[in-house]
Amino acid sequence: MKLTCVKERFLFSFGLGHRFLGAVALGCGIAFAAGETLFSNWAVTVAPGPDQGTLWVFSRGEVNQGVALLRLAVDGSGKIKVEKSDVEPVDNEFSAVQANIYADKQAERRRIPTESAGGLGVVLPMFGLDESDHFLEPRGFFSLKRVGAVDLSPLEVPASAEFISEPMDYAVTDFAYRESKKTLRIARGRLGIVEYDISKGAGNPQISNKVLEKQSHQWVKLPPSSNVDFSKYLDVWGLAENPTTGEVWVASSQGLWLESADGSVSSASKALESKRVTGVWIGGSPLQAIVETSALNKGNLEGGLWRKYLDSKGDFQRVAFLDSAGTAQKKDIYDNSDYTVTNVVFMGDKAFVGVWVAGGSVSGYLLLDSKGARTHGKKSESGGPWLNGFETGVTDRDAIITSIAKFPLDAKTMALAVATDGNGISVSADTGKTWTPVLNRAKLGGNLGSVRMVPSVITAGDQSLVSYKVGKDSKITIEVFSYDMRRVRKIVSSAPRYGDASRSTDPKEDFWDGMDDAGRPCTMGIYYVRVKDNHGHVGWGKVMTLGGGR
């Protein structure tokens, strides 16, 4: 089904970084300024594009959302440049991210899975609006083939789900595509899995619903009646295929299971038989499986990160956290920090594990080698010495990292990319040593000819980037004024900024957080931002704060 416009919706911000699309109808036209790289710097997810050097980015802005297909290249200095950006809006009746992802503590609900699925292209979850106009109704999945071919694939809600009180209990939480059978498997929580067979063509899918029995541990068809006893079945949250054997690993509400090529199912781990396993990822060289366990116990999150090399006979072991001397820590850093996995990327013998603190704003990735998670040696306010994020240069601004992926940048380079909630994406061509931010870069007038506030609507405590460009090295002063032109905040004073062909903003300093000079939240309203240099140039921007605060 082709996506068509129904209405646009504002993106508002309400404390703790919790953002969602509120129901404010604006008609059917979607305005998108020429020269934009992304729809917004709120990038939801990244995934490999259809060709070498291309990357899909799903992002959402204040009044619209959509996908961008970026064509990227690396220059002689190792910096990433955007050679081309093709964009397509997505109907604002649907979203790739559920409304409560910023506050939800359930690990399986806090990731946005993607998968390359043959004739379907790249797939990612799709949510629709509930009665309160929040994206909390699982509707199926998006299919990204190329710009101009961004489709939605609805999944029916069977009668069996009629008495499941929480729709998010059957949200799409993972995908696994089996090329040999042209079948996409979709983890659907309480409803088990969906087998989406496209062997007869992507436009003619054969769909079946299966659940995993607790007693026999075998797949059976989901009963069609509306009074199904779901206590007889296991919730399914994660799927991963062994690329060597074709076996499928299944993460469930009770244990990790292994489905052989003949369809029989057996336990994959004694150590995990009683665990709530929320995710499984397979890859790397040598081949390894990484598993997440996570459960809420009296309001507290109990989680673990486990690993097994598939050429070994041993069972899964908890991932060790190693200090700079290589000594394993007695405290389980993963459990102690309430991390949940956003995605896992394998690069040779290393694994990049994207994590995000449940219900919080601390995020980044753990870098695992054969011994465990290695410290990068830098203490940080947000994540300690194991978490790679803002302090280690992954982003040039402290923003939540929502997704991590790898993609072939050219014939010789496998690149990494992260999506962030507020700072676009960052790309690395050298296995995470250096990163280049890619932001929504609409053309700015030089010598402060234009000033953009990104985003233009915030809540006190959030950040609106002051975007500007100067033609030569300058000393910049940035001030914020109320509607009646009273100065409420001086952001920087005579701060050195370089002349730049794109923009001269320093994202670590040039932002307004909705506060006045005394650190108090400014009242709801429109504010003006003045940028002056020491050469007589003045530029103005405009931003709205909703007041409040964290």
Dump pLDDT digits (tens) for 427-442: 999 999 999 988 876 6
Residue 272 forms part of a structural domain: yes
How would residue 6 be classed by pLDDT, with cut points 50, 70 and 90? very low
């200090």: which residue's tokens?
Answer: 323
Amino acid of residue 1: M
Whether residue 431 sits in one domain with residue 487: no
What gap in Å lies between CA 397 and CA 423, rounded to an integer? 7
* 293 in any annotated domain: yes
DSSP structural state of residue 222: P
Same domain, 343 and 460: no
Q: Which residues pair with 465 in a beta bridge?
A: 454, 511
Give the number of domains in the chain.
2
Question: Please, which pLDDT band fits residue 381 given cuts at 50, 70 and 90?
Answer: low
pLDDT recorded at residue 545 = 94
Better pLDDT: 360 or 204: 204
The pLDDT of residue 385 is: 87
Q: What was the pLDDT predicted at 60? A: 86
Residue 469 and residue 434 share a domain = no
pLDDT at 2 (0 to 100): 37
| 499 domain residue, yes or no | yes
Query: Of 411, 438, 465, which marks where a domain is finished?
Result: 438
As a whole number of angstroms, the distance between CA 456 and CA 546 comes to 11
Same domain as 478, residue 379: no
Query: What is the pTM assigned to this prediction?
Result: 0.83
When pLDDT is averaged across residues 250-266 and rounded to a whole number, the result is 94
Per the CB < 8 A criterion, the answer to whether 91 and 127 are in contact is no
**297-327: pLDDT as tens digits:** 888 899 999 999 999 989 999 999 998 888 9
pLDDT band with cut points at 50, 70 and 90 for residue 480:
very high
pLDDT average, residue stretch 393-414: 92
Identify the pLDDT of residue 448. 94
Domain-embedded: residue 363: yes
Say if 444 falls within a structural domain: no
**Mean pLDDT score, 367-396:** 83
pLDDT digits (tens, 9 = 90+) for 271-281: 999 999 999 99
Q: How confident is the model at residue 548 (pLDDT cuts 50, 70, 90)?
A: confident
- What tokens does 481 get? 């004024």
Instruction: Answer whether residue 191 shows pLDDT above 70.
Output: yes
The pLDDT, as a whole number, for residue 38 is 86
25 band by pLDDT with thresholds 50, 70 and 90: very low
Same domain, 384 and 506: no
Does residue 77 lie within any of the structural domains? yes
- 175 and 106 inside one domain: yes
Query: Where does the pLDDT of residue 510 fall: very low under 50, low under 70, confident under 90, or very high at 90 and above?
Result: very high
Are residue 169 and residue 285 in the same domain, yes or no?
yes
Judgement on whether residues 49 and 120 belong to the same structural domain of the protein: yes
∠ at Cα 77 (72, 80), nearest 5°?
20
3-state secondary structure 29-61: CCCCCCCCCCCCCEEEEEEECCCCCEEEEEEEC
Domain of residue 473, CATH code = 2.60.40.4070
- Find out whether 415 and 409 touch, Cβ atoms under 8 Å: yes
Question: Nearest CA to 8 among 176, 106, 133?
Answer: 133
SS3 content of the chain, % helix, strand, coil (to 5): 5, 45, 50
Amino acid (1-letter code) at residue 160: S
Average confidence (pLDDT) over 129-141: 95
Higher per-residue confidence, 87 vs 237: 237
Same domain as 270, residue 138: yes
- Three-state SS letters, 62-123: CCCEEEEEEEEEECCCCCEEEEEEEEEECCCCEECCCCCCCCCCCHHHCCCCCEECHHHCEE
Task: Report helix, strand or coil for 206.
Answer: strand
- Given 373, 406, 438, the domain boundary residue is 438
Question: Of 195-199, 298-302, 418-422, which range is least confident?
Answer: 298-302
Instruction: Give the domain-ending residue among 408, 438, 468.
Output: 438
Residue 488 has pLDDT above 70, yes or no: yes
CB-CB neighbours of 457 under 10 Å? 19
432 and 475 inside one domain: no
* In a shared domain, residues 457 and 524: yes
Kindly state the percentage of the chain with pLDDT values over 70: 91
Is there a domain that residue 24 lies in? Answer: yes
Whichever domain contains 27, its CATH number is 2.130.10.10
Structure tokens at 124: 């990612």
Distances (CA, A) of 331 to 59, 357, 432: 37, 17, 26
pLDDT computed for residue 178 by the predictor: 93
- Look at residue 445 and tell me if it is in a domain: no
Q: Taking CA 328 as the corner, what is the angle to CA 324 and CA 330, rounded to the nearest 5 degrees?
A: 125
HSE of 495, CA atoms in CB hemisphere, 13 A: 16
Q: Backbone phi, then psi, for 25, in 5-degree steps?
A: -70, 135
Contacting residues for 433 by C-beta, under 8 A, at least 6 apart: none
CA angle 473/476/478 to nearest 5° reads: 155
Confidence at residue 481, expressed as pLDDT on a 0 to 100 scale: 98
pLDDT at 33: 41
Q: Work out the pLDDT band at 549, boundaries 50, 70, 90.
A: low
For residue 380, pLDDT over 70 is answered with: no
Q: Among 62-71, 373-382, 444-453, 486-495, which range has the highest average pLDDT?
A: 486-495
CA 8 vs. chain centroid, Å, equals 22
Q: What is the mean pLDDT of residues 80-86?
A: 90
What pLDDT is attached to residue 211? 96
User: Same structural domain for residues 269 and 391?
Assistant: yes
Strands 464-467 and 457-458: unpaired
Look up the domain containing 99 and give its range: 11-438
